[in-house]
Amino acid sequence: MKKQLSKILALGLSLTMFLTACGAGKTSTKTEETTTGAAVSESTTGTAEAGEVFVIGNPQPLTGVNAQVGESANMAAELAVKVINKEGGFNGVPIKLVNYDDQGSPEEAVKIANKMIQVDKVDAILGSLTSSNVLAAGGIYNEAKIPTIGTGNSPTWMQQGWEYVFRAGLNTALSMPHVTEKMLNLDVKKVAVFRGLDDAAKTSAETFIEEAKKAGIEVTTIESYTEGDTDFSGQVAKMINSKPDAVFCSTNGPTQAIFAKQLRQLGFNKLCFNREGIPVDTINVAGDAVNNWVFAYPYVVYSSVEEAKDPEMKEFLELYYQAYGVMPFHDCAYRSWDAMMVFWEASKIAGSNDKEAIKDAISKIKDFKSLGGMLDFTDGTREGLHTLNDYIIIDGKYLDFNEWIKAGNITKLAE
């Protein structure tokens, strides 16, 4: 990916010119309404014959509790389209990105899936970040033989055997055994679980509970919430009264900060483990309440470009910030970017934009550097990411959890 971005700059597309194309300082790229109700990105310049385009459907939650997350994912996807189209698109054919608001609703996801296939005649699908929506619509994409890269991280929709559906981000089934191993190493014998009821939160919690039981870790209580709830004092009281050594939390972003504050206010100061990365926005809202929260994840959400050490990540963040004047709100932006780059790489391997060729080419991608690490799709699972990093939040900063442990901080925490 670094070579791809560096090549763009080497070809004379300075950041200033690039930003002019993106519309610097805006929070989203300009779109126009079509008769289908979709928003179409204007990033379709390229070298193909007039009217020839590669259409990618992009259903994401743009209203509701995850609207900001969905918008961040859209912004990254549109940025990727501009980058790719400046390079000539897919084999000389420009990309047209068709954005839809799936509202985080499986019913809406099914409606949109049929519209994208029947009306928009999409060549590929990117999304949704809402796993329950991928689960609802994935079979439709697969039956239509549309190459799809979902951006949600639930295990469920990748267990359906859909050969046209892939993932370039994290499957939380990978992180749950990793988390329980960390707990064992830290002598955690009892854990309380707090979970949401959406597919991603529910299945992540179920996977964790299964792994914890295998490891001999007692699950003292399982407390649930409904999306939109703000008072968790009852659940927190039950969790604390069960006397756990740690808490495992499987929630969505908007809930994390509220739960963390209430958990700490009611006196639980031990380690908390999260099913996914905790974004900067949650840290800003929760403050000290998210200190000593741990997660295993491919990446973190940075508050500034300078914080990133990985060259590929830093380069992406520079492009994103200068295009929009803000940092990515959520790691779903990384997921959308990586998914688009996987499609681009597949088009190069295939040497064709035929949907079947693109699908087969994704399965040949190996040692491909993404924002989340090296991707390898050659094992037949249709999963590209197989590695994780361990983080802990201390004083609002992301630290390497393993280094933190080596420094003796667990002993200090216990004191």
Task: Read off the pLDDT of residues 71-85 as tens digits, 9 standing for 90 and up.
Answer: 999 999 999 999 999
Start-to-end CA span in the chain (Å): 45
The predicted structure's pLDDT at residue 213: 95
SS (H, E, C) 98-141: EEEECCCCHHHHHHHHHHHHHHHCCCEEECCCCHHHHHHHHHHH
Identify the band that residue 2 occupies on the pLDDT scale cut at 50, 70 and 90.
Answer: low
The predicted structure's pLDDT at residue 24: 38
Q: Helix 199-214 and helix 131-143: axis angle, to 10°?
A: 100
CA distance 61 to 70: 5
Q: Cβ distance 77 to 70 under 8 Å? A: no
Query: What SS3 state is found at 31?
Result: strand
Spacing of C-alpha 82 from chain mean position: 20
Query: Rg for the chain (alpha carbons), in Å?
Result: 21
The predicted structure's pLDDT at residue 35: 31
Residues 6+ apart with CB under 8 A from 22: 29, 79, 82, 323, 324
The predicted structure's pLDDT at residue 400: 94
CA distance 404 to 399: 7
User: What ranges in 169-272 are assigned the alpha helix state H?
Assistant: 172-185, 199-214, 233-241, 253-265
Q: Cβ distance 116 to 100 under 8 Å? A: yes
**Does the pLDDT value for residue 126 go beyond 70?**
yes
**Does the pLDDT value for residue 254 go beyond 90?**
no
Q: Which domains does the chain have, with CATH numbers?
A: 2-170+304-375 (3.40.50.2300), 173-297+389-414 (3.40.50.2300)
Spacing of C-alpha 348 from chain mean position: 24
Find tokens 């990254």 and name the residue.
76
Q: What's the pTM value of the predicted model, to 2 decimals? A: 0.84
Residues 6+ apart with CB under 8 A from 191: 183, 212, 217, 218, 219, 220, 244, 245, 246, 247, 248, 273
**Does the pLDDT value for residue 295 go beyond 60?**
yes
pLDDT digits 0-9 by tens, 151-167:
999 889 999 999 999 99
β-bridge pairing 389-394 and 397-400 = antiparallel
Identify the band that residue 412 occupies on the pLDDT scale cut at 50, 70 and 90.
Answer: low
The predicted structure's pLDDT at residue 65: 83
- Average pLDDT, stretch 127-150? 97
Find tokens 């929760």 and name the residue.
286
Query: What SS3 state is found at 58?
Result: strand
CA distance 278 to 302: 11
